[in-house]
């Protein structure tokens, strides 16, 4: 029996729409009625995650938990969070509800292993970079992560804020320049490790972009259609050398 996908959103709103858009595009349904049921809770009042982690800002967990519980009450069987940095608080939110939350970094790491990557650059919020969300998951699978220096990271944050404010061209320019710098530092491709980034940065002739939003959307569709997803695949890969396994 098909399951219902819940999207814990608002962090930010445009990234939430991007997640839902990718869920729909990855659902191979020939008609409206064949599509999976998706429930979205978009709460832009969830406090800033990076500010909470690095600056002692307001705790986002209570509103994240409230959003997750609303999704469960509305019928969600599995949840995705349309924000990378929010996964720093993953364990607290997951412990508050009885349904699984797909973990974006773990899903992305499993995808990277399947794709055969060995060294990836990380474009993400300063909160995501400094807490090592991607580094920890990817190093488990033997994939190295290259991060920007302080000046370049400041530029990435300016780009993220620009996209949140609706200045998509400015954001795209910042991310493209940072991505090129990471390629020059030895990365095979770059991870769009903030959900604002893949809204404006896509793979092209000069830059290969790995999109965790897309990967998580694909996993959510698989989970909802079959009752399982890449979360289990990631555990299996961590337990042994299954690089490249299908």
Q: Where in the sequence numbering do the catalytic residues fall?
A: 83, 194
Q: What is the DSSP string of 224-244?
A: HHHS--HHHHHHHHHHS--TT
Residue 192: left if φ>0, alpha if ψ -120 to 50, beta else—which one? beta
d(CA 216, CA 6): 12
d(CA 64, CA 59): 10
User: 146-170: string of b/e by CB count within 10 Å (b at 16+)?
Assistant: bbbeeebbebbbebbebbbeebeeb
Q: How many CB atoms lie within 10 A of CB 49?
A: 24
Element (H, E) at 39: strand 38-42
Q: For the CA atoms of the chain, what is the radius of gyration?
A: 17
Q: Locate tokens 């909160």: which residue?
A: 127
């Amino acid at each position: 029996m098909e399951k219902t996908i819940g999207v814990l959103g608002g962090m930010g709103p445009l990234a939430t729409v991007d997640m839902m858009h990718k869920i729909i595009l990855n659902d191979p349904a020939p008609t409206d009625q064949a599509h999976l049921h998706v429930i979205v809770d978009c709460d832009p009042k969830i406090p800033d995650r990076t500010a909470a982690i690095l600056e002692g800002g307001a705790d986002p967990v209570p509103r994240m938990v409230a959003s997750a519980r609303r999704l469960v009450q509305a019928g969600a069987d599995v949840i995705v969070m349309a924000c990378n940095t929010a996964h720093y608080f993953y364990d607290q939110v997951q412990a508050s509800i009885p349904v699984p939350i797909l973990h974006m970094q773990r899903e992305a790491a499993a995808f990277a292993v399947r794709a055969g990557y060995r060294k990836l650059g990380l474009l993400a919020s300063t909160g995501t970079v400094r807490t090592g969300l991607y580094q920890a998951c990817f190093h488990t699978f033997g994939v190295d992560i290259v991060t920007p220096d302080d000046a370049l990271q400041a530029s990435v944050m300016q780009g993220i804020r620009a996209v949140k404010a609706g200045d998509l061209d400015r954001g795209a320019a910042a991310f493209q320049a940072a991505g090129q710098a990471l390629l020059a530092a030895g990365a095979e491709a770059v991870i769009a490790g903030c959900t604002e980034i893949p809204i404006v940065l896509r793979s092209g002739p000069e830059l290969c972009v790995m999109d965790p939003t897309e990967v998580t959307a694909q996993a959510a569709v698989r989970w909802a259609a079959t009752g399982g997803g890449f979360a289990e695949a990631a555990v299996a890969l961590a337990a042994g050398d299954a690089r490249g396994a299908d």
